[in-house]
Amino acid sequence: MRKQALSDEILMRVEKPARYVGGELNAVMKDKDKVSIRFAMCFPDVYEIGMSYLGIQILYDLFNRREDTWCERVYSPWPDLDTILRDKKIPLFALESQDPLKDFDFLGFTLQYEMGYTNILQVLDLAGIPLLSERRGEEDPVVIGGGPCSYNPEPLADFFDLFYMGEGEVSYNRLLDLYKANKAAGGSRKDFLKKAAGVPGIYVPCLYEASYHEDGTLAAFRPLCDEAPEKIKRVIVKDLNDTVYPEKLIVPYVRSFQDRVTLEVMRGCIRGCRFCQAGMVYRPLRERDADWLKAQAEKMLRASGYDEITLSSLSTSDYTGLPVLTDYLIGECRDQHINISLPSLRIDAFSLDVMSKVQDIRKSSLTFAPEAGTQRMRDVINKGITEEDIFRGAAEAFHGGWNKVKLYFMLGLPTETDEDAKGIPDLCERLSELYFAEIPKEQRNGRVQISASSSFFVPKPFTPFQWASMLPREEYLRRAYLVKDTMRAQKNNKSLHYEYHDAEVTLLEGILARGDRKVGKAILRAYELGCMFDAWSEKCRYDLWLQAFAETGIDPDFYTLRERGEDELFPWDHIDIGVTKAFLRREWNRAMAGVVTPNCREACSGCGAASYGCGICRQPRNVQEVKA
């Protein structure tokens, strides 16, 4: 009988106790006395969100294929259980064994969004692990982070022993072997960290030192020992058909946000949107073979019992095997009553044809992201779609039976004017007019519904917009009110709906996204003041964050309102993602000129990702380097 860390009395007092009991279908159980390495993998947010993330499932499968390793999972306890754990002094535990995290060799965090940073400290604190890496001893787990936010690790540098730059399938086995050998040889924690610095993709922050100019900008960033390389290059899987992929997904007891089989069809993106970090850091584009995906889909559906499958990538429409794969899945899934979800599709004839086959159009809405309301702004951000594309696709969708359209935009993009902002309600109004013009009254399936939402622009590291300034909170809100008021003034306003993101959370995200090591003190103080679950708007305490910044001497405006100089040294410049800083600056200049850069299948823009020697960079194309 497997023990439980929490009594029945405690479980009855918390919301959704199934978050904490483990024992789900396909969870891996091992004899802890027969393994050499215990690895706890954490998603620092609530269980339902973490269980939706494919990356943890991939690493969970990778680690547990090793006979000497047992990987378990842990998620942030919701505030109700957080209070109980503190009051009763119960250490935070892993789901599978229910053992305290402090008993593990590694505690790994996936860093998916900046507003989860205080939850990392929550997990460490509840586990009884010192928050600062310099205070950890030989008996404490090695704390390692990976994921998109690790590409600027500096705000979290004081809390982590290691960061993993790149795709986990490449170097983790080597890292675990190194840990095991160091332990067998009687090596210390410090010995392991120095040796780990030699593993491709591994960054050890304690082996580096930052210095600053009087104005607060970074002056230098240098390694402190010979073992630490000056640049840490991201590692990637070159052949996605020759790597591990989970065949048995863990099926949660609590319904997760992505309660379905996820089939990753490719990594990377050809589009080059200038605001998009993922589109840059995951280059080059690499595809999985359609036959491999067919076989994988069968195994995963059979092992999980799910009744839905989704095709995952940054831009699924760009997957060249999509026609073959979707035809196969439609044929196989129809008889088994399995639904197919196709996110990240571009609005074109093929995509609409596929979606009409896999969706009940009377119950679904069509979703796409123009990102900006005017063509001028779409050219600035290099979105790669024209107004003609949008209206042609919308017309085909309306004729196909859709009458609900969701549109995603951003406000506060570089060079944006009030006219660009008002382009959002103008575009929505013209789409509603298009519906009435294209669809005869007797064929209409109810009133057309155009729902628009806008987030506020956050400049991210390793994007062409990493030099850009943000806007003050009041200006973000002014632009959102301008869009909302203009939307209400439209003739078809009853068919239009508009929502916008939280401006305060946006500014916090901007500070954490481009912060340096000094910001870590503010993160720690914010946690001490009670900040947790900052990604949840109802939980975020902007006033406490401002207090933390003030008490630690951090000027928020320095990180948000200041446009970076061309030659400024960034806190993440010691990370090499393959895409060069020179290319990103060239794209910044093209953005300021409103010049579009072709996608990777049309022409090579000389981004630098060809250094990996794989994927689209090895395919015949019109190879003409795009100049500034």
Residue 363 is predicted with a pLDDT of 47
Whether 63 maps to a domain, the answer reads yes
Whether 98 maps to a domain, the answer reads yes
pLDDT at 361 over 50: no
Question: Could you give the CA distance from residue 456 to residue 470 in angstroms, rounded to a whole number?
Answer: 9
Pair (28, 59) in one structural domain: yes
Whether 620 maps to a domain, the answer reads no
Residue 306 is predicted with a pLDDT of 86
Residue 275 is predicted with a pLDDT of 98
- Spatial CA neighbour of 452 closest among 477, 486, 503, 413: 486
Summarised one tens digit per residue, pLDDT across range 469-499 is 999 999 999 999 999 999 999 999 999 999 9
pTM greater than 0.75? yes
Pair (536, 426) in one structural domain: no
Q: Are strands 218-223 and 208-212 parallel, antiparallel or unpaired?
A: antiparallel
Environment class of 315 (CB within 10 Å of its CB; exposed 0-12, middle 13-18, buried 19+): buried
Question: Could you give the CA distance from residue 573 to residue 221 in angstroms, rounded to a whole number?
Answer: 9
- End residue of a domain, out of 499, 533, 553: 553
Residue 101 is predicted with a pLDDT of 98
- Spatial CA neighbour of 42 closest among 141, 134, 153: 141
- Spatial CA neighbour of 149 closest among 124, 107, 117, 118: 117
Pair (539, 419) in one structural domain: no
Q: Give the residue with greater pLDDT, 282 vs 394.
A: 282
What's the mean pLDDT in 58-81? 98
Residue 140 is predicted with a pLDDT of 98
Pair (460, 543) in one structural domain: no
How confident is residue 401, by pLDDT bands cut at 50, 70 and 90?
Answer: confident
Pair (36, 180) in one structural domain: yes
Residue 162 burial (CB count, 10 A): 25
- End residue of a domain, out of 516, 538, 567: 516
Whether 413 maps to a domain, the answer reads yes
Which tokens belong to 598?
């072709």
Question: Rounded to 10 degrees, what is the CA torsion of 180, 143, 211, 467?
Answer: 120
Is residue 246 within 8 Å of 27, Cβ to Cβ?
A: no
Residue 537 burial (CB count, 10 A): 12
CA of 272: how far to CAs of 189, 276, 379, 463, 622, in Å?
41, 8, 11, 9, 16
What's the mean pLDDT in 374-388? 95
Whether 544 maps to a domain, the answer reads yes
Q: Which pairs with CB-CB distance under 8 Å and at least 24 residues apart come from 240-244?
A: 240/264, 240/266, 240/267, 240/286, 240/287, 240/288, 241/288, 241/289, 241/292, 243/169, 244/58, 244/61, 244/62, 244/65, 244/169
- End residue of a domain, out of 211, 233, 255: 233
What's the mean pLDDT in 592-605? 96
Is residue 594 within 8 Å of 380, Cβ to Cβ?
A: yes
How confident is residue 627, by pLDDT bands cut at 50, 70 and 90?
Answer: low
What's the mean pLDDT in 442-453? 91
How confident is residue 622, by pLDDT bands cut at 50, 70 and 90?
Answer: low
Question: Could you give the CA distance from residue 464 to residue 461 in angstroms, rounded to a whole number?
Answer: 8
SS (H, E, C) 165-203: CECCCCCHHHHHHHHHHHHHCCCCHHHHHHHHCCCCCEE
| In 329-421, beta strands by DSSP E | 339-341, 366-371, 404-411
Pair (371, 471) in one structural domain: yes
Summarised one tens digit per residue, pLDDT across range 24-48 is 999 999 999 999 999 999 999 999 9
Question: Could you give the CA distance from residue 526 to residue 379 in angstroms, rounded to a whole number?
Answer: 39
Residue 183 is predicted with a pLDDT of 96
Task: Please state which of the ranges 84-88, 387-391, 519-523, 531-535 shows the lowest mean pLDDT.
Answer: 387-391
Pair (533, 436) in one structural domain: no
What's the mean pLDDT in 287-297? 95
What size, in residues, is the chain? 628
Residue 342 is predicted with a pLDDT of 78
What's the mean pLDDT in 347-358? 69
For residue 15, the enclosing domain spans: 8-233
What's the mean pLDDT in 60-89? 98
Pair (73, 219) in one structural domain: yes
Whether 247 maps to a domain, the answer reads no
CA angle 194, 110, 39 (to 5 degrees): 60
Summarised one tens digit per residue, pLDDT across range 125-179 is 999 999 999 999 999 999 999 999 999 999 999 999 999 999 999 999 999 999 9
Pair (539, 400) in one structural domain: no
Whether 428 maps to a domain, the answer reads yes
pLDDT at 255 over 80: no
How confident is residue 628, by pLDDT bands cut at 50, 70 and 90?
Answer: low
Averaged pLDDT score across all residues of the chain: 93
Residue 360 is predicted with a pLDDT of 55
Summarised one tens digit per residue, pLDDT across range 187-217 is 999 999 999 999 999 999 999 999 999 999 9
Pair (392, 526) in one structural domain: no
Q: What residues contact residue 353 under an 8 Å CB cut-off, 6+ apart?
A: none
Total tally of structural domains belonging to the chain: 3
Is residue 570 within 8 Å of 588, Cβ to Cβ?
A: no
Whether 301 maps to a domain, the answer reads no
CA angle 226, 232, 237 (to 5 degrees): 135
Q: What does the radius of gyration of the chain's CA atoms come to, in whole angstroms?
A: 25
Residue 349 is predicted with a pLDDT of 59
Main-chain dihedrals φ then ψ at residue 143, nearest 5 degrees? -100, 120
Residue 362 is predicted with a pLDDT of 46
Pair (87, 228) in one structural domain: yes
CATH number at residue 492: 3.30.750.200
Main-chain dihedrals φ then ψ at residue 196, nearest 5 degrees? -65, -30
- Spatial CA neighbour of 105 closest among 145, 161, 147, 143: 143
Which tokens belong to 444?
């209409």
How confident is residue 359, by pLDDT bands cut at 50, 70 and 90?
Answer: low
- Spatial CA neighbour of 28 closest among 256, 264, 247: 247
Pair (446, 525) in one structural domain: no
Residue 62 burial (CB count, 10 A): 20
